[in-house]
Each structure stands twice: as C-alpha cells, then as structure tokens.
Amino acid sequence: MTTMPIRLRSVAPVAATVLLGLFLGSVPVISHAASNHPRVSVIGLGRMGSSLAKAFLSKGFNVTVWNRTASKAQPLVSAGAVLAASPTDAIADSPLTIISLSAKPVSRSILTGSDVSAALRGHTIVDLSTGSPAEARSASEYVVAAGGSYLDGAILAYPREIGTNGATILYAGSADTFRANAKALAVLASDQHYMGEDPGAAATANLAGLDYFFVAAEAYMEGAALAQAVGIKLDQFRAIAAAHTRKLDPLLEEINRRIKAGDYAGDQAPLNDYSDAFKMIRQALIEKGLGHEAVDSFLSYAESAKKANDGDKDLAVLYRTIGGRNENR
Ligand SMILES: NC(=O)c1ccc[n+]([C@@H]2O[C@H](COP(=O)([O-])OP(=O)(O)OC[C@H]3O[C@@H](n4cnc5c(N)ncnc54)[C@H](OP(=O)(O)O)[C@@H]3O)[C@@H](O)[C@H]2O)c1
C-alpha cells in the first residue's frame, strides 16, 4: 500500500496515527488549517457517503471523514479531507455530522458506541442511511437525550447525482435544526424537502414515494411485455409510455383536487369503465402467457370499490377504497 499524507484529527492523535498507519502506511499528522470555511463531518464512505463528502469538499467545506475501512478515505484525503480516528472524533470535529451507512441499525451501533454519547452534546447529526420511521424516531430520541440535535433524511438519488440538480433529499425532525442547517445541506441536493417535526416523516415519505415509483415501473414492464409479445419493439413501447407519462402529472393533480374536495363524481370516466378495460388487459396478458400482477392489483381495488357501490365514481375514489384519509375533513 502506498504511503500518503493523511490529515488526521483525533483526541488521541498518537494512538490513532499508529492505528491508521496499519491501514495506510506511514501517516504524518496534519489537521484542518485554521480557516473560516464551514466544517462538516461525514461518517460512512461507501458509494453514497464518499459522494456526499466530495460534494462538501467541492464547495470549500472543511470536511472530516470516518469509515470503518479507513483505506476508502484515501481519495477524499487526497482532495483535502481530514481522516478522523473514530466516529467520536469525527462528530466532535464539526458542528454538523452527516451519516451514510448501509442501514439504520449500523448507524445506531455507531451512535451508541463507547464515548460517542459525550461528543453528541451541542452537535447536529443528520442520518441519511436508509431505515424505517421507527428507527429514525428512536435515533432522534437517543441523540436529543444526549444533548444533540437530530435530523433524519432520505436520499432520492444515485451517488453520481449528489450535488447536482438531479438529487432530491427529504428531511424530518426539528424545524429549527433544519432551518439552521438548510444552507449546508443544500450542497448535497438543492431540491430538499422538509417533511415535518416527526423524525419518522422523511422515512415514511421515502417509502410512500418508492411504492409509487416501483409499482409504476412494474406496470411499465407488464405493458412492455404485452406489447413485445405482438412484435412491438421495446423502444416503440417506451414512446407510447412517454405519452402516458406526460398525462400522469396532470392526472395526479386532478386526483388530489378531487380527494381534497371529496368530489368523486364519475363525470369523465367512471371506475366501471376502467375496470372493464383492465379485464381486457388482464385477458391479453394471460393469452400471451405473461404475468398480470400489476393489473390484478388495480382490478382488486376496483372490485372492492364496486362492492362499496362506488363503481359509478371517478378513478380517484380508489384513494378512499385504499383507506386514504381526506386531510381536509
Ligand atoms: N447507492 C445508492 O444509490 C443510494 C441511494 C439512496 C440511498 N442510499 C442509502 O445510502 C446508504 C449508504 O449506501 P451506499 O450505497 O453508500 O452503500 P455502500 O457503498 O455499501 O456503503 C456502506 C457503508 O456502510 C458501512 N458499514 C456497513 N456495515 C458497517 C458496520 N457494521 N460498521 C461500520 N460501518 C459499516 C460501510 O463501511 P465499509 O466501507 O467499512 O464496509 C460503508 O461505509 C444506505 O443506507 C443506502 O440505502 C444509497
């Protein structure tokens, strides 16, 4: 392994230098040069964490990093980051620490590690590791009880999109904490959305968005398989799907309007008409020996709606069938 200068920050620099030397070779200790640049720490340097740290470095932040496998810090250290000897040192080094680990139980194990708790006081943790709403709430309670501030986040982007217009990140937790850190966090994704004080809200919104996204992608593939079965090329079908996609956003807006107004009148196309068409789609899929789970789920909701005497209503009535609540009522 090549020897490289590592800018190291540690409460126990000598011991840490020896430890890191095992991973990285001979390690001269250098720290952040005194500067007025904002400081941020990043814990977890996998594909996403490395990208997050890189985005901060590119905007002139003083970045401290920590990763279980220290060698993954090399490219970031070469770009100006300081490698902390431990998660505790990383948290202590900056007012704001971003965590990006494989899952929330891993970040939990880091946050509850020995002597980490003392470093949390007066520091802000933003955990962008994927997890459940309950895990986010529990982590928030833990950090706040230790005297720190906590935001939970969900990234709707690939690592390569971080710091570009293509990235969206959802946040939840204390509004004051979000306001205080919004400018720094905007380095990662200018399209950032604050979901509310409930620390579980970003994780829930993420799950809700993924439900929409992947079920839509599944339905696209079901349609593509049917089209392909009669010789329509995949690219031709994508063009047809694009025409539907253009109509989708206005449809979602109309669905929202109807739900909020409680206006389910079937004045344009009643659900019965849709479900008749969907039975034909199902039959066509069966005839070609294809799967039909996506269309089945629509038909299942439509049948429930009909049983509730809603067959003559607008498609939007399915929101009620699903059990969705009207926020205005
Ligand atoms: N990649 C994406 O497209 C994407 C998109 C949105 C959200 N996310 C979320 O972002 C988070 C990170 O994803 P990623 O793509 O960066 O994953 P990754 O490349 O697999 O990195 C995982 C990170 O977790 C660390 N880790 C795993 N187990 C650990 C343990 N027991 N103790 C300490 N550290 C441990 C790894 O450390 P080592 O390097 O030492 O193994 C590494 O830093 C995940 O929650 C993921 O769901 C990812």
Structure tokens at 213: 């996204």
The span from the CA of 65 to the CA of 181, in Å, is: 18
Q: If DSSP codes are grouped into helix, strand and coil, which group holds residue 202?
A: helix
Q: Which of 156, 253, 143 is nearest to 202 (CA)?
A: 156
**Is the Cβ atom of 140 under 6 angstroms away from ligand 1?**
no
**Are 281 and 302 contacting, i.e. CB atoms less than 8 angstroms apart?**
no
Which own/partner contact pairs does 56-63 have at CB distance under 8 Å and 24+ positions apart? 56/184, 56/187, 56/188, 57/81, 58/163, 59/163, 59/187, 61/37, 61/184, 61/187, 62/32, 62/35, 62/37, 62/38, 62/94, 63/39
Q: What's residue 327's pLDDT? A: 81
pLDDT of residue 14: 36
C-alpha 125 to ligand 1 mean position (Å): 17
Task: Pick the closest to residue 202 from 176, 165, 173 (CA basis).
Answer: 173
Q: Report in angstroms the alpha-carbon separations of 174 from 119, 147, 148, 242, 315.
A: 20, 14, 11, 39, 37
Instruction: Name the amino acid, one letter, at 180.
Output: A
67: three-class secondary structure by DSSP:
coil
What domains are defined for the chain? 6-197 (3.40.50.720), 233-322 (1.10.1040.10)
Question: Phi and psi (nearest 5°) for 124?
Answer: -105, 130
The alpha carbon of 49 and the centre of ligand 1 are apart by a number of angstroms equal to 7
Query: Which structure tokens are listed for 264?
Result: 């389910």
pTM for this entry:
0.85
For the Cβ of 68 lying below 6 angstroms from any atom of ligand 1, the answer is: yes
The ligand 1 atom nearest the CA atom of 154: 7
pLDDT, averaged per 10 consecutive residues of the chain (329 residues), comes to 46 40 40 77 98 98 98 98 98 98 97 94 98 97 98 97 96 98 97 98 96 97 98 98 96 96 90 91 98 97 96 96 87
Nearest CA to ligand 1 atom 29: 106
* Nearest alpha carbon, ligand 1 atom 2: 158
* Pair 83, 7: CB distance under 8 Å: yes
**Residue 130 Cα, ligand 1 centroid: separation in angstroms?**
9
Paired residues of 83 in beta bridges:
8, 65
Among protein residues, the one with the nearest Cα to ligand 1's atom 6 is 155
- Mutation test of ligand 1: which of 101, 129, 135 has the most ligand atoms closer than 8 Å to its C-beta? 101
Q: Which atom of ligand 1 is nearest to the CA of 104?
A: 45
What ligand 1 atom has the least distance to the C-alpha of 69? Answer: 40
Greatest alpha-carbon pair distance for the chain in Å reads 76
